[in-house]
Amino acid sequence: MPNRYATARSRMIREQLLPRGIGDQGTLAAMEEVPRHLFVEDALQGQAYGDFSLPIGLGQTISQPYIVALMTQGLGLKPADRVLEIGTGCGYQAAVLSRLCAKVYTVERLKPLMMKARQLFDRLHYLNLVCKLDDGTLGWPANAPYDAIMVTAAGPAVPEALLSQLAEGGRLAMPIGGRQEQELVLIRKENGQYLKSTLEQVRFVPLIGAQGWSE
C-alpha cells in the first residue's frame, strides 16, 4: 500500500521533524524518500513512522525518526562527501545518508543484520552503499579519511580510531556517555582540533568493540 506509507512519511515530517527544528531540505527529502517500513519486521510496519524507536532483533533498534533526522542534519552533508557509518543495524540510517552523499561505508558486527541490510540496499537500488562485517570501533581505515562519520551506538568516548579517520573539516556525530543515558555530540575537526557541541539527550544501544564497551 504505497500511498498509505507515503502519507505516513509526509505526516512524520510535518508532525515530528519540522516542529523540532529539522529544517535542512536535503535531510527532509531523504526522510520522505526512504521507505522506513521496509527496514522493520512485517508485523511492525504499521508502526514504522511512529515517534519512537523499534526493535530489529538481536538486541538492536531502529532509531526514532527525529533522532535519525537530527544526526543526519548535524553532519551537514554535501553531494561529494564520503561517509563512514558505524552500526548498520537494519540499514535505515545508512539509506538516509546515501541519498545525500557520494558514498556510504557502513560497518556492522552482527552478520544477520548486515546480510539483511545488504539485501535491502540491493532491492532498493541504493548502489552507493558498501557494507562490511567487522568491529566498528576500529572504523574502516582502508577508505579513510572520511568527510563525515556517524556512530549509531553509544560509547564512553569517541574511539581514537574514528577520530584518526576523520578528514580535516570533517564532522562526527555519536552518542557519548554511560550504558543507559548519553549526550548526542557533534564533533568538527578544524585545524587539527576537535570542537564538540551537544545536540540532544539520548538513549542508544551500547557500542561493542575494542574501543567501545565489552559485551
Side chain identity, residue 48:
A
Peptide bond into 145 cis (omega under 30): yes
Query: For residue 119, what is its C-alpha cell?
Result: 539485501
Answer for the pair 121, 91: CB distance below 8 angstroms, yes or no. yes
Query: Rounded to two decimals, what is the model's pTM?
Result: 0.96
Encode pLDDT of 32-74 as tens digits. Answer: 999 999 999 999 999 999 999 999 999 999 999 999 999 999 9
**Residue range 146-165: mean pLDDT, rounded:** 97
Encode pLDDT of 116-138 as tens digits. Answer: 999 999 999 999 999 999 999 99
Torsion 61-28-2-128 (CA) sign: negative
Share of the chain above pLDDT 70, in %: 99
Answer for the pair 96, 68: CB distance below 8 angstroms, yes or no. yes
Answer for the pair 117, 90: CB distance below 8 angstroms, yes or no. yes
Mean pLDDT of the chain: 96
Side chain identity, residue 209:
G
**Residue range 91-110: mean pLDDT, rounded:** 98
Q: Give the pLDDT confidence score for residue 1 in this predicted structure.
A: 45
Query: For residue 163, what is its C-alpha cell?
Result: 577520530
CA angle 2, 152, 123 (to 5 degrees): 35
Q: How far is Cα 65 from Cα 28, in angstroms, rounded to an integer?
A: 11
**Residue range 156-174: mean pLDDT, rounded:** 97
User: Is the predicted pLDDT of residue 2 greater than 60, yes or no?
Assistant: no
Q: How far is Cα 27 from Cα 12, in angstroms, rounded to an integer?
A: 13
Answer for the pair 207, 154: CB distance below 8 angstroms, yes or no. yes
Query: For residue 18, what is its C-alpha cell?
Result: 519540522
User: Is the predicted pLDDT of residue 3 greater than 60, yes or no?
Assistant: yes
Q: Give the pLDDT confidence score for residue 180 in this predicted structure.
A: 87
Encode pLDDT of 16-30 as tens digits. Answer: 999 999 999 999 999
Nearest CA to 116 out of 32, 58, 189 is that of: 58
Catalytic positions: 63
Domains and CATH numbers, the chain: 51-202 (3.40.50.150)
